[in-house]
Structure 1
Amino acid sequence: MTTPPDDALLFDVHAPAPPTPVERLLALANLYTQHNDRIDLLFYGRADLVPDTYAASSLHLEREALTSIKAVRQQPLPAIEPVSSAIVRLKQIAYLTGGATRYLTAARQALPADEAEHARPDRRHGFGQFIWLARELTALAPQAIVESAAHIAARLPDRARSNTTVSGMDAAKRELLLEVARGHVIVSQQYAERGYGRTGTVDVEVLRRLEDQGLVTCELASAPPFFPGGPSLDRARLTALGISVLSTVLHSPLHVSLPAAGPVPAPAATSTVRAHR
């Protein structure tokens, strides 16, 4: 597959590449979240089916993952277990994304021409099954990338680190920034404005303070609903400033402790698509 143009992707990549390896990894995690959300929306009938776009986006992610690994390996990092495991995990993500690209290419070939504009995928067979298999391969990428970035950030030389800071960065804000980076935070406007993370609700007031500081943005209706027929949800994502600030606090003494990086587990099939996967 040839290199796709930037306007043929599921996400915006017109911004320049972040300057540090950790910022680049956090930006990559954000792209994976957008990619996964668009596939999820497709299964809920909330996104257009343009098979070439999905395959091209996956290919872009694969190449950007490999480029990010190269940027990390150019740094004088110690050859110790947390670092080596983090790099292995990043390689696994790139290889899994390559598999997703092949599934999405197969999906494009399996879609009858007369269904290309109006079809809604069925994950049990045909092109929908290929798309769902591709979605499973990238399901854990945002969280795995962020966890690997945390181990790498703690051991980078000062010249390769960001020093961007903002006032009032307390533990609650750091933890919520991490959850946003992992692709776990959504906002529902139904009944009342509420925020949800991977395991429960999040403090919307803290989220709004992060928005006011320009660290987070909530993209309207960009995440799939909780249930078929429900309203689309708003995905919280890091801004460019948020990426820089989080990359700085990842290696601070007060950063949230993360488990040691290890091999990415095989994603288990689920009966429904949840936005805060």
Structure 2
Amino acid sequence: MTTSPDPDLTPMFDVDVPVPLTPVERLLALAGLYTQHNDRIDLLFAGRAAAVPDTYVSSARRLERDSLACVKTIRQQRLPAIEPVTSAVVRLKQIAYLTSGATRYLTSAQQALPPGDAQHVRPDPRSGFGQYVRLARELTALAPAAVVECATHLAERLPDRARSRTTVSGMDRAQRDTLLEVARGHVIVTGQYEQPGYGRTVPVDVDVLRHLQSQGLVTCEPASAPPFFTGGPPRNRVRLPALGLAVLSTVIASPLAVCPPAARPVHSPAAATTARARR
């Protein structure tokens, strides 16, 4: 996001995106920020992160500011007041409001944190500090996918001057859909795609992920996602870097991510393996 964090607050993470961004790129970057925020809280409950509430408060405040900044950017495009444009704007305002509520819960968690070495103990989600953090996490749980949905609805209606034209050769539907799943915060893997990952819903082909990474469209951030089981090691979150944001913003509203015929590979694709990474 292009919005600068409050200099008095310590940012929880940085975003690898160019400046300036198109409106859709900004929304996709925002979805990525929400995923990182939620992952950090999940790692806290898994006992894989220290209980430092001011860090989570800082990131929640930034998310609220950036959500409102996206609303302002969309309104500046003077889009027609029709569905689903109006619903997308309302949804983004709701996300900002929910994030404000998460900030209040996290602020309360600051005050409820016991003294001493309690920050290194896995919090109890049913009482005290842990309960406040759990309530905050619930308020941002659906934000990544909701923001991506808003981006999809708005993409077709933006004027040409507000669109990205960044493309890569050979983009097909499977690759586009995988980029969408990454943007929604649904893709976690173990290792560097050499074994299946575990998730909640539809599987994503590991070979497609490898190909996208070779093109610089996705990155794998080690040990940044919660473990699959209690006591297990953190997993690796698949994210969209700057190029991935730009390319997905170009094809996000297309049923098929079609490239010019001349740009398609002339060789046969490699045989698909049975390895899968799940969202």
C-alpha separation in 2, matches of 1:137 and 1:244: 28
The residue number in structure 1 matching 2:241 is 239
What amino acid is aligned across from residue 242 of structure 2 in structure 1? A
Deviation at 1:241, TM superposition (A): 0.3
C-alpha separation in 2, matches of 1:34 and 1:218: 13
C-alpha separation in 2, matches of 1:213 and 1:16: 17
8 Å Cα contact 2:98/2:139 also seen in 1: yes
8 Å Cα contact 2:198/2:228 also seen in 1: no
What amino acid is aligned across from residue 128 of structure 1 in structure 2? G
C-alpha separation in 2, matches of 1:252 and 1:9: 35
Aligned length: 256
From the CA coordinates, give the structure whose radius of gyration is larger.
2
Deviation at 1:116, TM superposition (A): 4.8
Among 130, 154, 157, the residue aligned to 1:155: 157
8 Å Cα contact 2:222/2:235 also seen in 1: yes
**Does 2:198 align with 1:189?**
no
8 Å Cα contact 2:27/2:148 also seen in 1: yes
8 Å Cα contact 2:46/2:226 also seen in 1: yes
Within-5 A mapping of 1:174-213: 174-189=176-191, 193-213=195-215
The residue number in structure 2 matching 1:259 is none
The residue number in structure 1 matching 2:144 is 142
Within-5 A mapping of 1:249-260: 249-252=251-254, 254=256
Percent of aligned pairs sharing the same letter: 70
Deviation at 1:76, TM superposition (A): 2.1
Query: What SS does the corresponding residue of 1:72 show, helix, strand or coil?
Result: helix
The residue number in structure 2 matching 1:23 is 25
Q: 1:153 to 1:16 in 2, by over 3 A?
A: same
TM-score with structure 2 setting the length: 0.86
Within-5 A mapping of 1:41-190: 41-189=43-191
What amino acid is aligned across from residue 107 of structure 1 in structure 2? A
C-alpha separation in 2, matches of 1:11 and 1:254: 33
C-alpha separation in 2, matches of 1:14 and 1:211: 15
What amino acid is aligned across from residue 207 of structure 2 in structure 1? E
What amino acid is aligned across from residue 14 of structure 2 in structure 1? D
Deviation at 1:251, TM superposition (A): 3.1
What's the RMSD between the two structures over aligned residues?
2.2
8 Å Cα contact 2:113/2:119 also seen in 1: no
The residue number in structure 1 matching 2:263 is none
C-alpha separation in 2, matches of 1:16 and 1:164: 13
8 Å Cα contact 1:176/1:207 also seen in 2: yes
What amino acid is aligned across from residue 225 of structure 1 in structure 2? P
C-alpha separation in 1, matches of 2:141 and 2:195: 26
TM-score with structure 1 setting the length: 0.87
Deviation at 1:6, TM superposition (A): 8.4
Deviation at 1:232, TM superposition (A): 1.1
The residue number in structure 2 matching 1:273 is none
